[in-house]
Structure 1
Amino acid sequence: MNAKIALFGAGGKMGVRLSKNLAKSDFQVAHVEVSETGRARLKAEVGVDCIDVAVALSDADVVILAVPDTLIGKIAHQISPQLKAGTMVMVLDAAAPYAGHLPDRPDLTYFVSHPCHPLIFNDETEEAARRDYFGGIAAKQSITSALMQGPDEAFALGEAVAKAIYAPILRSYRLTLEQMALLEPGLSETICATLLDVMREAMDETVRRGVPAECARDFLLGHMNILAAVTFKEVDGVFSDACNKAIQFGKPRLMREDWLKCLDEPEIAESIRRIT
């Protein structure tokens, strides 16, 4: 595709990642970055210069907002008067669109896409891919996308851009905006990141109680590997009776009875309100 993309936040951490991948695509890209540090980073790492907003938006087919959640609404409203009808505004996280921060422009297409990141269990053999934990460099990752508003045929363009910025791609999923919000912040941050943080705290406590730090880390990460493989059916196995009993008594000690309510719509909405 020869669509023209205006990339906002091009010199940020995420923007540079996207710029590197877009440089390998057939898309025409206009880079926008307000900070001098970001402009210098983009020039040093990608070899491209930034241009003025008005020039970047001129005839842009897609505008990617690779900026923090708290700035998406502000920037989207600032540039909205300069966008022609039919322009696609792409956001890289569901939070701001879900919170209603995008301008009321029914003639624009709003597309949201977010990476799944490389899987813990994968078939990568190259060192660069095995060490690419975030994705978008060498390891294959799946992506999620939602067409928030706009003609259904616009999804193909949005997905093509998403596949380019997050390459290499394992699988691509089309979801609703509400489903994307369930996955993040719900599943990935409120639940997964929280429980991982709890596990790290527990590991640190075993060290405080006398277990050698390297041993505690090896023990926990090793058990995370096999326990996750069994839990997510990566291997054909079952937990021991002792492990099942530990789960039976451990879960009510660690988790509130109604903990699944953190995935209810009011909880997700409040979490997104805090984020944005």
Structure 2
Amino acid sequence: REDVHYACAHPCHPSVFLERTTKEEWQDTFGGIAAPQEVVAAYEGGDAAKQELADSVIRVMYAPVVDVHWVTVKQLAVLEPTLVETIACMVGALLTEALHETVHTVGVPEKAARAMLLGHTQVALANT
């Protein structure tokens, strides 16, 4: 129908590089409570006023929001689930499994292994 306008959005969740300044921001790992996050959204209706309205609704739904990035529906489908669920979550699971094996099979103290892994992960992500 021409009188119905569709938009879809997905939260990016707070970035690993978000400068968190409060305990509440640190505890909000998914976003939508205290830690600001970005959102990716799609609107293909061609009506700029309707897209602006969608933007304001999205900012309320996922608040606090740093920015809303507009893409096509197809691009959003590539980002979620392909990029984040298939790739990023798999890498996260791999890191968790590697840490577990390092601690429980090799015998490295967990605090030492976790410090080494997380510090180097930050370096790897920051320099990509």
TM-score scaled by structure 1? 0.43
Aligned with 1:192 (options 84, 88, 97): 88
Instruction: Determine if contact 1:142/1:169 at 8 Å carries over to the other structure.
Output: yes
Say whether the 8 Å CA contact 1:118–1:141 is kept in structure 2: yes
Contact 1:145 1:175 in 2 (8 A): yes
Question: Secondary structure at the residue paired with 1:153?
Answer: helix
The count of corresponding residues between Structure 1 and Structure 2 is 127
SS at match of 2:31: coil
Question: Aligned equivalents of 1:179 and 1:115: distance in 2?
Answer: 14
Matching residue within 108, 111, 118 for 2:14? 118
**Shift of residue 192, structure 1, vs aligned partner:** 0.6
For the pair 1:230 / 2:109, whether they are aligned, the reply is: no
Greater radius of gyration (CA): 1
Q: Match of 1:163?
A: 59
C-alpha distance in structure 1 between counterparts of 2:36 and 2:97, whole Å: 31
Map 1:64-79 onto structure 2 (within 5 A). none
Matching residue's letter, 2:7: F
Which digits, 9 at most, give the CA deviation of each residue in 1:43-69, with x for residues without a partner? xxxxxxxxxxxxxxxxxxxxxxxxxxx
Does the alignment pair 1:174 with 2:73? no
Asked if residue 216 in structure 1 is aligned to residue 108 in structure 2, the reply is no
Cα displacement (A) at 1:159:
1.1
Q: SS at the partner of 1:109?
A: coil
- Note the residue ranges of structure 1 that are not aligned, 5 or more in a row: 1-104, 232-276
Partners of 1:117 and 1:195 in 2: CA distance? 17
**Partners in 2 of 1:193 and 1:180 — Cα distance?**
17
Alpha carbons 1:136, 1:166 under 8 Å: kept: yes
The CA deviation at 1:217 is 1.8
Contact 1:119 1:141 in 2 (8 A): yes
- C-alpha separation between the residues in 2 aligned to 1:197 and 1:186? 15
Name the Cα RMSD after superposition.
1.8
1:130 to 2:26 alignment: yes
Aligned counterparts of 2:19 and 2:47: Cα–Cα separation in 1: 37
Greater relative contact order, per chain length (Cα 8 Å cut-off, separation 6+)? 2
How far is the alpha carbon of 1:129 from its aligned partner?
1.4
CA offset digits 1:23-59 (Å, max 9, x no partner): xxxxxxxxxxxxxxxxxxxxxxxxxxxxxxxxxxxxx
Corresponding residue for residue 7 of structure 1: none
Cα deviation for residue 149 of structure 1 reads 4.3
SS at structure 1 position matched to 2:43:
strand
Whether contact under 8 Å (1:110, 1:150) holds in the other structure is: no
The alignment partner of 1:170 has SS state of strand
TM-score by length of 2: 0.87
Alpha-carbon displacement from aligned partner over 1:103-147 (angstroms, at most 9, x marks no partner) = xx5542221011111111122212211222111111111111111
Matches within 5 A, 1:1-276: 105=1, 107-149=3-45, 151-207=47-103, 208-231=105-128
Runs of 4+ in 1 over 3 A off after TM superposition: 148-152
Larger mean CA deviation between 161-170 and 119-128 belongs to: 119-128
- Aligned residue identity for 1:226: V
Q: Distance in 2 between matches of 1:133 and 1:149?
A: 33
